[in-house]
Structure 1
Amino acid sequence: MSKPPMEATPAESPPPGAPAGYVELIRDNVHFRRLWIGNVVSLLGDWFNTIALYTLVSELTGSPLALGAVFITKMLPWALASPLAGVLVDRFSRRRVMIASDLLRAVVVLGFLLVDEPGEVYLVYVLTALQVVIGSVFPPAQSASIPNITTPRELLTANALMSATWSALLTLGAALGGFAAAWLGLKAVFVLDSLTYLVSAFFIYRTVIPQDTEEGTKLPVRAAFGKIAEGWRYLRTHPPVARIALAKGTWAAAGGALVYMLTLLGETLTPGATSVGIGVLFAARGFGTGVGPVLARAFFRDRRRWPVLIGACITFSGLCYGLVGGLPWTYAVAVFVVAAHATSGANWVLSTVLLQERTVDRYRGRVFATEWLLVMLADTASILTASLLLEAGLLDLRGGFLTFAAFQVLCGLGWLAGIVPHEQRTGVTR
């Protein structure tokens, strides 16, 4: 007598609390899939553009301060625009905001085609500032949208995948961008970047993104400032949210300078091919930031351990950069760049998930915009300090790595001593 067909046991399917798989998420969630594909294409173009800009300014000026100014121009205008960006993300359709941002940036980046000689370098700063101000709405809109198009099981996987994608595209885009700039020329790279924004806008156009916010068609200036203040009051009255909003900025207080100095190290490794050296080191950075979130998702699912892990990640990142500064400079230092950014990537994803879970939807755009404000201000301060010290000859490049690596270790220890005890006392798990 044959046995009846066996029913699937719970062990044969993911338990309710287990994160969704990566393939499952992309296969089954069509709206996340479209948002993700658009992000893939746009990020590839962005990293092509970034390597091309660093190479262009480095070759036209040869000045550490001029190169540092490119980093700062990518961050300070973004920081200043972030509060208003958060209001727009919470007030208007996030989908339409992202589409408009893509279309406008597709036009702006074509302006880089006009820069051919040292006297025109000022255009790099003007166009970069315009590009990042227009783009300042995109990351908070995307981060605020992900919880609305995913289930609780999918949320951690979605954020890990977005972070891993950013990292993979940094790895691929930096490596290919370096060679593309050398082989195809900088102008071709800027045209490609413009086209990727158009592709991204197309995929987001086909995505449905619900949101629980007070949508409107008008936003008077006075009301906008009121909404910004309302978002800051929310952070002040919700300490568990405010604490986690500091995580990325704590890393950036020294990390911004360390990433900036990677471009100078790239020139040192390959003096005759600047874009290639920068591309290799930024590819190592990207590979690390991709590996870190995947490992964190696999081995650290208990959210109660995440605040301690964030502090440990910041500290370990500083130690790795200390080795970059102390060891002989060959391409072997890329191993420690990978390790440093594996922990920074884990910090990024864990803090993002905690913020998404702890913040109600109507404030989520402003919270993420405020987080970006803190990150960009920290990045700007550290890069400006490093570039001034290097330009004045008060530090050489090796001394710069060692100094800011030590500061990053102190930032991580400060997080462990100042933030973790509050998390443990309040017993917040989400």
Structure 2
Amino acid sequence: MKTQNPKQLLPPALRSRNYRLFFAGQGISLIGTWMTQTATIWLVYSLTQSPLMLGVVGFSSQIPSFILAPFGGVFVDRFSRHRTLIGTQILSMIQSLALAALALTGVIHIWHIIVLSLFQGFVSAFDAPARQAFVPELVERREDLANAIALNSTMFNGARLIGPAVGGLLVASIGAAYCFLIDGLSYIAVIIALLAMKIKPRTILVSTANPLEQVKEGFVYAFSFPPIRALLLLSALVSFFGLQYTVLVPVFAEKILQGNAETLGFLMAASGVGALCGGIYLASRQTILGLGKLIAFAPTILGIGLITFSLSRYLPLSLFTMLFIGLGTILQVAAGNTVLQTIVEDEKRGRVMSLFTMAFLGIIPFGSLLGGALADRIGAPTVLIIDGIVCILGSMYFMRQLPALRQLVRPIYIERGILNEGLH
């Protein structure tokens, strides 16, 4: 009887050595990154007791992504994505270790957190589009690309929800400073993984165009094609409204559910479980066909979760609703990312993924600032009810557009061998 190669049991993308290294290293590092996010918001709330200040710190950590991401996309299209990632991971490690040193010595102030958050946001403006655009270079077979994109999207967005869960539990048990330290050390894993890769030199089209012209070219390309435009706008809406809960959860944990950092950890852990379920489902899919309906329906799941969570005063019910918040978020963002990476032209991949970074990460600070300011005035529960309603309305609008978007995407799917007959 023929023995099956263990590699054949893995998802297609993980059969490529470079992608396995990338997946393992980034998985560890990204969980550490989001642990730091949770530790930071708890530390800020402990220092200030201000929902508005939570919004300010959230704003400062992401606003550089909104402003600089288009230039990061141009950089990624013109230079080595591999070397860019090595550089951004080293800078991120320095930032986390600086935060750990300040917290461990007990000299940390709110302005330290804001300055270091701005620095990390600057790094992310180059790191996020580089990471997204690097994926096609990691797989040995072109037909494994869709699986790699799904796994990569799932890893990134899953870590964004799993990391805070672990962070909350660690803050409650050993304190925020050690979260920062663990995060700083976690970057060693991804740096080693990147250095161990054997990457074939990529053909880079030499451009004499002004970077601003290339930024404009990326915008025109993305927003003149309705499917890309619709995906970016839905991601922006979900990020602006649907993710305001991430900076308001400490208010629910302490004031509404009468808990502590451990309660915060359990709430974020519940959203992490929901995200993990969504991620496993997406990674197990054999085709990207049918993701359109999923992208359209996911904000409804998120919206219902937000509304129910805002009304709950009972911890088990709050934990249950957080499952749906995590599930709805990852289904929309990861599935949207997968379709986007599939339909985009390779020479514009970095720029389009930088726009996705703007739509997903870059919009969050504005939502954080508005959510924090509104929570000060009308209360955190009312804010989340409004957010949930907007997510559901956005979901309904995208669903109405779906038939027309499918017809536009159909020729691309046929050209790339994804579709032979009618689009299902």
- TM-score after normalising by structure 2: 0.86
1:191 alignment partner, one of 172, 181, 192: 181
CA contact (8 A) 2:55 2:365 kept: no
Residue 54 of structure 1 deviates from its aligned partner by: 1.1
- The residue number in structure 1 matching 2:420 is none
1:155/1:353 contact within 8 Å kept: no
Q: 1:278 aligns with which of 246, 250, 264?
A: 264
Q: Which residue in the other structure is 2:292 paired with?
A: 307
Return the letter of the residue paired with 2:275. T
Structure 1 residues 227 and 181: alpha-carbon distance in aligned structure 2, compared to 1, 3 A threshold: same
> How far apart are the structure 2 equivalents of 1:308 and 1:211?
38
Instruction: Count the aligned residue pairs.
Output: 407
Matched residue type, 1:121: I
Q: What does 1:168-247 align with in structure 2 at a 5 Å threshold?
A: 169-170=159-160, 173-210=163-200, 212=202, 214=204, 223-247=210-234
Q: CA deviation at 1:365?
A: 0.5
Task: Compute the displacement of 1:317 (Å).
Answer: 1.4
Q: Which residue in the other structure is 1:382 paired with?
A: 367
Aligned to 1:127: 116
Structure 1 match to 2:382: 399
User: In structure 2, what is the Cα distance between the partners aligned to 1:108 and 1:183?
Assistant: 23
Q: Give the structure with higher Rg (CA).
A: 1
Choose the corresponding residue for 1:326, options 311, 316, 319: 311
Q: 1:263 aligns with which of 246, 250, 267?
A: 250
Give a deviation string over 1:174-201, Cα, whole Å, max 9, x none.
3432232233333222222211123211
Query: CA offset at residue 67 of structure 1?
Result: 1.0
TM-score (norm 1): 0.85
Specify whether residues 375 and 175 from structure 1 end up closer, same or farther in structure 2 by C-alpha distance, changes over 3 A only: closer
Match of 1:105 in 2: 92
Does residue 416 in structure 1 map to residue 414 in structure 2?
A: no
Whole-angstrom distance in 2 between the partners of 1:302 and 1:23: 15
Deviation at 1:368, TM superposition (A): 0.5
Residue-by-residue CA offset, 1:292-343 (whole Å, 9 max, x unaligned): 133245568462x322321111122111211112233313322221123212
Is the 8 Å Cα contact of residues 35 and 163 (structure 2) preserved in structure 1? yes
CA 199–65 in structure 1, closer or farther in 2 if over 3 Å, else same: same
Amino acid at match of 1:420: L
Query: Which deviates the most, 202-211 or 138-147?
Result: 202-211
Identical aligned residues as a percent: 21
* Secondary structure, counterpart of 1:249 in structure 2: helix
* Structure 2 Cα separation of the partners of residues 132 and 340 of structure 1: 25
Question: Which amino acid in 1 is paired with 2:292?
Answer: P
Secondary structure (helix, strand or coil) at the match of 1:88 reads helix
**Matches of 2:259 and 2:31 in 1, distance apart?**
25
Q: Which residue of 2 aligns with 1:95?
A: 82
Contact 1:147 1:356 in 2 (8 A): no
The C-alpha deviation readout for 1:252-280, integer Å capped at 9, x for no partner, is 23112133222322223665632x22222
4+ aligned runs moved over 6 Å, structure 1: 116-119
For structure 2, the 5+ residue unaligned runs are 414-424
| CA drift at 1:226 | 2.1
AA aligned to 1:422 is A
Q: Given the superposition, is the C-alpha separation of residues 387 and 349 from structure 1 closer, same or farther in structure 2, using an over 3 Å criterion?
A: same
Structural mapping, 1:364-375, within 5 Å:
364-375=349-360
In structure 2, give the amino acid aligned to 1:34.
Answer: L
Q: Could you say which residue in structure 1 is the equivalent of 2:344?
A: 359
Output the aligned Cα RMSD.
Answer: 2.9
1:311 touches 1:416 (CA, 8 Å); kept in 2?
yes
Match of 1:114 in 2: 102
Distance 1:41 1:302 in 2: 27
User: Structure 1 residues 208, 347: closer, same or farther in 2, change over 3 A?
Assistant: farther
